[in-house]
Amino acid sequence: MKTPHLLLCACLLTPATPRAEESPQALWKESREPLLEVIDLEATRGDLPKSKWIGRDQKDLDREINKLLDDVLKVMEVSGLTEARETYRALGDRIDRRRTEVRELREATLSADEEKSPLEFYKKTREEYLEEIAARETDIQNLKDQQEAQIDLMMEAYQNMGLKLSGEQVRFYLSSISGSDMMDLSAVFDNVRLLNNQLEELVMQSPDDPEAARRYYGIHVTLIHTMRYAHERVLDRIDHLYLDRIGELEKQNDALMKETKDLIRFSDPEHQGLLQSSLNTQEVTADALVLYREHLQNVRDQVYEGQKALDQRFKVAMNAYQTINIAATLAAEMQSAVKDLSALRNMHLPALVPLNSDALQQKFSEITRELEGE
């Protein structure tokens, strides 16, 4: 099942109601200095050689710019959406801890007495253990309810960006290693929209100031560069981290399946049932790994298409920036740039993988934890 083609950047959509920590004013305050530094550094590119054994060259310049863009992205990736995601995960950690406690308490009931004497006040009876288990199970349900509330917040955040996602789609984002990357990209797109709106206001306030005009349009160009860089980072993680790790897991699982099949052929009858059960689990894992690889490749293709569009927009915007000399032309260029920027929203969401069994869903989640290095 594939998601429809949806727009991630909401430059010209109904504005989201920003939270205090992600207001345009706060974004501008935190990102202004590194954005301006990028503009100043980019202006020196023509004076540097492409490559040089000794001394500064364009490769050194790119490293400096990328470091600044990292700082900008730290600001841009924070939103109500990403905060809800982190809260959801923190609640999941608490649920896991409560489940561990329940398991330990159940084990303790096996050796607990039904009654105790007054002198054994430090001991717990079986009934007391059961009461503690019930309390923790109630806590688990409350935590699950809080998780559902966070899913609602994430759906609302996407709705404010002009996107309508179902709870199922949001849950899939949360279960996939690429989901975090795509949520971060969503936050970057929306925050770029907020800042771009701020720039429009500044341009209109300084119609007769050519230097201000060049400055604000330069920031606009750098915002496009930031989105472009965000895409590059996602592509790098998919190519050199996620897919490589999937390959390693596939090799490990294939070797284990071969070993299990050999054991089935030569083992005693009483071991056949356990070995067959292990083989079934390994086959489910193999299916999940194939689906995960296809999912990541699909996401990679979509992000790559978005990056190509951004590369073209960046070249056009940089060309316009270099030719802007008067505020009057900037005002027209700024309006055109806003329209062009809205076209960059045409980016796909990751395809939903049809997980048609509980076992496959569980394996998919286990693989995600492996990829996250937990």
pLDDT band at 334 (very low <50, low <70, confident <90, very high): low
Mean pLDDT calculated for residue range 258-274: 89
| 222 vs 43: which has the higher pLDDT | 222
Range in 165-169, 340-344, 359-363 the model is least confident about: 340-344
Token look-up 């982190």 returns: 86
Question: What local confidence, expressed as pLDDT, does residue 282 receive?
Answer: 92
Buried b / exposed e over 9-32, threshold 16 CB at 10 Å, is bbbbbebbebeeebebebbbebbe
Residue 324 φ then ψ, to 5°: -80, 125
Residues 220 and 199: beta-carbon distance below 8 Å: yes
Mean pLDDT calculated for residue range 295-303: 89
Over residues 94-125, the pLDDT tens digits come to 999 999 999 999 999 988 888 777 776 678 88
CA distance 314 to 216: 15
pLDDT band at 330 (very low <50, low <70, confident <90, very high): low
Question: What local confidence, expressed as pLDDT, does residue 328 receive?
Answer: 45
Mean pLDDT calculated for residue range 143-158: 91
Residue 263 pLDDT > 50: yes
Question: What local confidence, expressed as pLDDT, does residue 332 receive?
Answer: 55
CA distance 16 to 236: 30
| 369 vs 55: which has the higher pLDDT | 369
Mean pLDDT calculated for residue range 301-316: 87
pLDDT band at 182 (very low <50, low <70, confident <90, very high): confident
Give the H/E segment covering residue 11.
none
Chain mean position to CA 356: 24
Average pLDDT over the chain, rounded to an integer: 78
Question: What local confidence, expressed as pLDDT, does residue 8 receive?
Answer: 31
Mean pLDDT calculated for residue range 153-167: 81
For 306, half-sphere exposure in the C-beta direction (CA atoms, 13 angstrom radius) is: 35
pLDDT band at 251 (very low <50, low <70, confident <90, very high): very high
Question: What local confidence, expressed as pLDDT, does residue 368 receive?
Answer: 80
| 176 vs 54: which has the higher pLDDT | 176
CA distance 315 to 42: 13
Residues 240 and 227: beta-carbon distance below 8 Å: no
Question: What local confidence, expressed as pLDDT, does residue 260 receive?
Answer: 94
CA distance 356 to 260: 25
Beta strands in 89-159 (DSSP E): none
Residue 134 pLDDT > 90: yes
Mean pLDDT calculated for residue range 285-313: 89
Residue 188 pLDDT > 80: yes
Highest-pLDDT range among 4-13, 138-147, 299-308: 138-147
Residue 288 φ then ψ, to 5°: -65, -40
Question: What local confidence, expressed as pLDDT, does residue 79 receive?
Answer: 76
